[in-house]
């Protein structure tokens, strides 16, 4: 095992390989607060990549209802239990020592899925889901923890559920890659997308077993494993719509709730994000710290970040997103002027936004949130492509558009 630095854990950890060669990393922020579980993202992905024989149970993008739902069933509970069994009582964070750049959530003092494995027979602690676990992608849809006795109110609801949108995280330290005995899985230097070489794969399903997020899936008709490919032709800009420029994936571009913002971030040799203050994802993850990784304690350094749901009890969220939850919810519920503007970029363009700037607008009024009076401004956020050209311009206040009396000619 090599020693690599995992900034989400605030420490070095064991991994099978040295740091990978990725210079640029596929990343995204999902705002859980806005998802309506319409499954348009799931269908956009399925109708593009997994509509063929043998792929019937394959949902590279799925949206499940927490706390009871999961695809495959109970994927997260199962791996959390395995980790707890391997390190009883030790899966804890030390938040006393944090560093805004290299250890923003403190230090994880427990063991990752690489560190609870023996490193000889197994590179990763994991399990193979049973066949029936894959059968129902959205079991327990909309099932709440309890019927609220007297209605619900913030900051935490007594009966609650929320939707969790899941794709492959194109992890910086992929468990699937570390576990493959055929070395059939690789991470691309140009965008950090993790792919399974279908020629090399022999269907041993070690990746299915190892991925804690259970995102590689076995295809019986070809006897190989497959996974989300990050819509790499779109990222490469080969879709004619964007004239050679990087374009967001199908699941992101189709999102009805406008919860998703995708991008490519620059990373250094240690897998840490290079400072890029005007990059919207850098801003949301590293400056505003409103978006957090899913189960960072697994140790794969996932690259999809979530704005946690503000109505859910904090202990549940802390075990899922780590100790940054309280600050992230505060930053979302009481957003700064800049955060409010950057949030308008979600789903504003199919082209990938590489930087933004904000034009200040007039004061709209005042509102009271959580007992605090806040001023609201109609600022405009402008997004730029990889060449620095303006591709989108959105204001905080949505324009009111009056329809003409005569709607259409039918």
Stretch that binds ligand SF4, among 29-37, 337-345, 378-386, 399-407 (CB under 6 A): 29-37
Residue 167: CB minimum distance to ligand SF4, A: 8
35 is a site residue for ligand SF4 (CB under 6 A):
yes
Collect all residues with Cβ–Cβ distance below 8 Å to 329 and sequence separation of at least 6.
155, 308, 310, 314, 317
259 is a site residue for ligand SF4 (CB under 6 A):
yes
271 is a site residue for ligand SF4 (CB under 6 A):
no
Stretch that binds ligand SF4, among 33-41, 230-238, 280-288, 355-363 (CB under 6 A): 33-41
57 is a site residue for ligand SF4 (CB under 6 A):
no
| Length of the chain measured in residues | 410
Q: What SS3 class is residue 318?
A: helix
300 is a site residue for ligand SF4 (CB under 6 A):
yes
Cβ proximity to ligand SF4: between 63 and 328 the closer is: 63
CA 106/CA 225 separation, integer angstroms = 36
Cβ proximity to ligand SF4: between 103 and 252 the closer is: 252
Give the single-character DSSP code of 134.
Answer: G
169 is a site residue for ligand SF4 (CB under 6 A):
yes
Q: Is-contact 178 212, C-beta < 8 A?
A: no
Q: Where are the alpha helices (DSSP H) in 202-324?
A: 206-210, 232-235, 250-253, 280-282, 314-321
Among 45, 123, 180, 194, binds ligand SF4 (CB under 6 A): 194
Cβ proximity to ligand SF4: between 98 and 122 the closer is: 122
Q: Is-contact 35 260, C-beta < 8 A?
A: no
Residue 262's nearest CA partner among 247, 242, 278, 244 is 247
Among 92, 256, 274, 367, binds ligand SF4 (CB under 6 A): 256
Cβ proximity to ligand SF4: between 253 and 329 the closer is: 253
Query: Within 196-235, which residues bind ligand SF4 (CB under 6 A)?
Result: 211, 213, 215-216, 227
The C-alpha R_g of the chain, in whole angstroms, comes to 21
261 is a site residue for ligand SF4 (CB under 6 A):
no
Residue 252's nearest CA partner among 77, 55, 44 is 44
Query: Within 136-165, which residues bind ligand SF4 (CB under 6 A)?
Result: 165
Map tokens 């490193």 to a residue. 119
Cβ proximity to ligand SF4: between 263 and 385 the closer is: 263
Residue 301: CB minimum distance to ligand SF4, A: 9
179 is a site residue for ligand SF4 (CB under 6 A):
no
Stretch that binds ligand SF4, among 7-15, 38-46, 135-143, 282-290 (CB under 6 A): 38-46
Among 171, 294, 312, 341, binds ligand SF4 (CB under 6 A): 171
Q: What SS3 class is residue 366?
A: strand
Q: Is-contact 194 215, C-beta < 8 A?
A: no
Whole-Å CA distances, 142 to 38, 40, 159, 257: 12, 17, 11, 17
CA 315/CA 218 separation, integer angstroms = 34
Q: Which residues bind ligand SF4 (CB under 6 A)?
A: 35-41, 63, 165, 168-171, 174-176, 194, 211, 213, 215-216, 227, 254-257, 259, 300
């Amino acid at each position: 095992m090599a020693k690599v630095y995992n900034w989400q854990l605030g420490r070095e950890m064991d991994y099978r390989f040295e740091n990978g060669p990725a210079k640029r990393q596929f990343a995204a922020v999902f705002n859980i607060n806005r998802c309506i579980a319409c499954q348009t993202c799931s269908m956009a992905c399925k109708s593009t990549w997994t509509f063929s024989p043998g792929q019937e149970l394959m949902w590279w993008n799925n949206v499940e209802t927490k706390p009871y739902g999961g695809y495959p069933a109970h994927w997260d509970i199962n791996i959390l239990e395995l980790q707890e069994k391997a390190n009883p009582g030790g899966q804890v964070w030390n938040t006393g020592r944090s560093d805004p750049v290299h250890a923003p959530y403190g230090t994880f003092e427990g063991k990752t899925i690489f560190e609870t494995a023996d490193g000889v027979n197994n590179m990763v602690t994991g399990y193979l889901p049973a066949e029936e676990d894959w059968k129902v992608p959205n079991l327990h849809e909309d099932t709440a923890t309890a019927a609220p006795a007297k209605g619900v109110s913030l900051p935490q609801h007594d009966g609650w559920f929320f939707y969790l949108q899941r794709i492959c995280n194109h992890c910086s330290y992929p468990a699937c890659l570390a576990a493959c005995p055929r070395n059939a899985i690789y991470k691309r230097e140009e965008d950090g997308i993790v792919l399974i070489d279908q020629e090399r794969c022999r269907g041993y399903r070690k990746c299915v077993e190892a991925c804690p997020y259970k995102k590689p899936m076995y295809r019986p008709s070809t006897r190989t494993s497959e996974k989300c490919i990050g819509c790499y032709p779109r990222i490469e800009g080969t879709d004619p719509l964007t004239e050679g420029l990087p374009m967001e994936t199908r699941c992101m571009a189709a999102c009805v709730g406008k919860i998703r913002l995708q991008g490519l971030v620059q990373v250094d040799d240690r897998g840490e994000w290079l400072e890029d203050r005007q990059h919207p994802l850098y801003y949301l993850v590293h400056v505003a710290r409103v978006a957090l990784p899913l189960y960072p304690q697994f140790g794969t350094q996932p690259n999809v970040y979530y704005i946690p749901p503000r109505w859910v009890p904090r202990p549940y969220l802390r075990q899922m997103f780590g100790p940054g939850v309280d600050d992230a919810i505060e930053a979302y519920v009481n957003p700064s002027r800049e955060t409010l503007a950057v949030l308008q970029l979600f789903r504003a363009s199919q082209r990938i936004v590489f930087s933004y700037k904000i034009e200040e607008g007039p004061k709209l009024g005042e509102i009271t949130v959580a007992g605090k009076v806040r001023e609201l401004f109609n600022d405009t956020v402008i997004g730029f492509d990889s060449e620095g050209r303006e591709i989108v311009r959105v204001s905080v206040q949505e324009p009111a558009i009056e329809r003409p009396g005569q709607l259409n000619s039918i």
